[in-house]
Amino acid sequence: MSFVPTTPRRQFLSIAGAAMALPALWAGSAAAAMQPAVIETRDGKLRGVRSNGVYSFKGVPYAADTGGANRFQAPRPVAKWTGIRDATTYGAMSPQIKSGMGGDELFEWYEQKEPLGEDCCVLNVFTRGLDAGAKRPVMFYIHGGGYINGGGAGEALDGSNLASFGDVVVVTINHRLNAFGYTQLSHLDAERFGDAANAGHLDILAALEWVRDAIATFGGDPGNVTVFGQSGGGSKIMALLGMKKAQGLFHRAISMSGAAGLAIDPASAMQPYVDALVNELGLSAGHLEAMQRIPFEALLAARSRAVRQSGLEGARPVIDGRHITTQPMSVEGLATHAQVPLMVGCTRTEASLFFRDDMRNFALSEAQMRERMRRVFKVDDGTITAIMKAYREAEPAMSPSDILIAVASDVQFRRPLTRAAETKSGAAGQAPVYVYNFNWTIPALGGLLGAPHAVDIPFAFGTVDKARAMTGPGAAAFETSMNMMAAFVAFARTGRPDNDRMPAWRPYTASSRTTMLIDAECRAVTGYRAAATVAIQDLRIDPFNRAALYRFSA
């Protein structure tokens, strides 16, 4: 099956009724029959379903229950089962405080309602056929939510449409998060808890090993695996790139807004948080095994108190010298992923999602914008004037709020990702790097939010029909989604995102600086926001003062 429509893109947009035809094509009939499907895997038989031409198997365990004595340990193998295991519902999510966007109606598609539990090392598979030997490209998605919350289920992450559109096998996963996946205990007891610091990433490796060993049964090619993920998922991918144990488990990588994974803290940086956590639980270094018996709700509550006490988020991968030994874009890290083509990108106005907590942020005066810039970035008025001029060089109508949102978005997301692209592309013997910006403006609130953080998820999965409160009616969202899926699928097949729906997409280099602007009509540009990039190159945000960036003050 070709993933590129035969109708030219411009003609496609003009077809009458496209806005109604596309949802019907992707979502299928609500009354479509769901036929049971049984498959035998390495661990036992699974019963999934076939619907609208796609097989799905959900809640499939790739590692054992991580509770009790397995808490804070490396993942253990799954015990084989007899009989047929039901795989028609999603499995448990790692214990967490919240799993969504706090009831935001525009992001209802992001919500997940699965139960919480430590038997959370589960994955979901979506495929057009169970023909072993078909060797379909595998697209392995790692969810966002930082390292604290989230999961691989829900309507927006249903891989059926992407699997059908691209004739690929889609895998989504759950893994341990927050205190359960990232608690650096080595300084207290390295012998028994030396794997605790990066247990969440060890889970991801275990899921990739499951794909290596079992995905052929689902029609996938274990020799052609693309990892992709958004926000925290993209950051997890950047850390994976530097892990030697991940070599050979995936062959291409797409980091969507995953800038945080480019700077991995040393293990010592988390010690104040961990010490506060242990203290909150009333324990000492010699009695850490008691942490394995505490109910997960109590551990979550203690974690929240330790975060407040230490001033550290706490949960994130660290350079432990055992599993993660280097930064992904260091010389050693580059050697690890030299043969892995990389795609990185972000949304045009990432930060507008965070400014939305106070809608006054979208109507700032120039004086208010300047005061915020001085307070957060510690810059003078001359520098602010130069930044304003640089942004308005490309977009003269930018308001003070537009400029502040653009600066916040670029400093936190676009700048570190493009620097990573420059680093990889400039090193000898490296596979190519491709850069994109997701530019489609959501119509909600009169387009005020632009293209905020996380907006691109349903576009990558072809589930924009599930996000209509955000995307609104019309064909443009579906057209943009097909453009994005076409690029991602092409990259998964060949390591190059070129496809017939877009202009030629050249690799990113220091000289070409090609960025693909993904929209209903895509454009390849050279030196995207070049003047602005120079103007903000020295801006820094103190992690302890990041909240001040989004806080309105009169």
> What is the CATH classification number for the domain harbouring 97?
3.40.50.1820
What's the pLDDT score for residue 9? 46
CA 288 to chain centre: 32
CA atoms within 13 A on the CB side of 261: 29
Q: Is pLDDT at 327 greater than 80 in this prediction? A: yes
322 inside domain:
yes
User: What does the pLDDT look like over 35-81, one tens digit per residue?
Assistant: 999 999 999 999 999 999 999 999 999 999 999 999 999 999 999 99
pLDDT higher than 90, residue 516: yes
Checking if the pLDDT of 288 tops 50, the result is yes
3-state helix vs strand vs coil in the chain, percent to 5: 45, 15, 40
pLDDT tens profile 363-410 = 999 999 999 999 999 999 999 999 999 999 989 999 999 999 999 999
Q: State the average pLDDT over residues 216-242.
A: 97
Residue 480, pLDDT above cutoff 80: yes
Mean predicted lDDT score pLDDT of the chain: 92
- Stated as kind and residue range, the H or E segment containing 400 is helix 400-409
Tell whether 483 is covered by a domain.
Answer: no
pLDDT number for residue 533? 94
294-311: average pLDDT: 95
Task: Indicate whether 458 pLDDT > 80.
Answer: yes
Last residue of a domain, one of 306, 340, 374: 340
146 and 178 part of one domain: yes
User: Is residue 310 a part of any domain in this protein?
Assistant: yes
Predicted confidence at residue 33, as pLDDT, reads: 76
| pLDDT score at 102 | 63
Which pLDDT band holds residue 4 (cuts at 50, 70, 90)?
very low
Confidence of residue 286 (pLDDT cuts 50, 70, 90): confident
Same-domain status, 291 and 368: no
Assess if residue 188 is contained within a domain.
yes
Q: Are 175 and 220 members of one domain? A: yes
In this structure, the answer to whether residues 130 and 275 fall within a common structural domain is: yes
Q: What angle do CA 42, 90, 107 make, to 5 degrees?
A: 140
Mean pLDDT within 207-217: 98
Percent with pLDDT over 90 in the chain: 85
**Are 386 and 313 part of one and the same domain?**
no
Whole domain around residue 519: which residue ranges? Answer: 352-465+508-550
Residues forming a β-bridge with 57: 125
pLDDT at residue 98 in the model:
78
pLDDT > 50? residue 493: yes
Tell whether 484 is covered by a domain.
no
- What does the pLDDT read at residue 459? 98
Closest to 172 measured CA to CA, from 208, 222, 209: 208
Q: Which helix (H) or strand (E) holds 319?
A: strand 318-319
Residues 397 and 336 reside in one and the same domain: no
In degrees, rounded to 5, the angle at the alpha carbon of residue 539 between the alpha carbons of residues 537 and 542 is 145
Q: Say yes or no: 86 and 194 in one domain.
A: yes
Of 318, 340, 362, the one marking the end of a domain is 340
| Whether residue 323 sits in one domain with residue 244 | yes
> If you search the block for the tokens 């916040």, which residue do you land on?
408
**Spatial contact of 177 and 200, defined as CB atoms under 8 Å apart:** yes
Looking at the structure, tell me whether residues 229 and 322 fall in a common domain.
Answer: yes
- Could you tell me if 379 and 409 lie in one domain? yes
pLDDT at 554: 65
Predicted confidence (pLDDT) at residue 330 exceeds the cutoff of 70: yes
Q: Which of 208-217, 310-319, 410-419, 428-437 has the lowest mean pLDDT?
A: 310-319
Query: Do residue 316 and residue 364 come from a single domain?
Result: no
Annotated catalytic residues are 231, 350, 453
The confidence score (pLDDT) of residue 35 equals 94
Instruction: Classify residue 9: in a domain, yes or no.
Output: no
pTM of this structure: 0.94
Residue 402: both structure tokens together? 């537009």
Structural domains in the chain (count): 2
Q: How many helices (H) and strands (E) does the chain have?
A: 20, 15
pLDDT at 30 over 50: no
Q: End of a domain among 317, 340, 363?
A: 340
Q: Are residues 318 and 264 in the same domain?
A: yes
Average pLDDT of span 120-136:
96
- In the predicted model, what is the mean pLDDT of residues 455-460? 98
* Residue 476 lies inside a defined structural domain of this protein: no
Q: Which two three-digit tokens encode residue 548?
A: 């001040």
Average pLDDT over residues 160-171: 98
The reply to whether 86 falls in a domain is yes
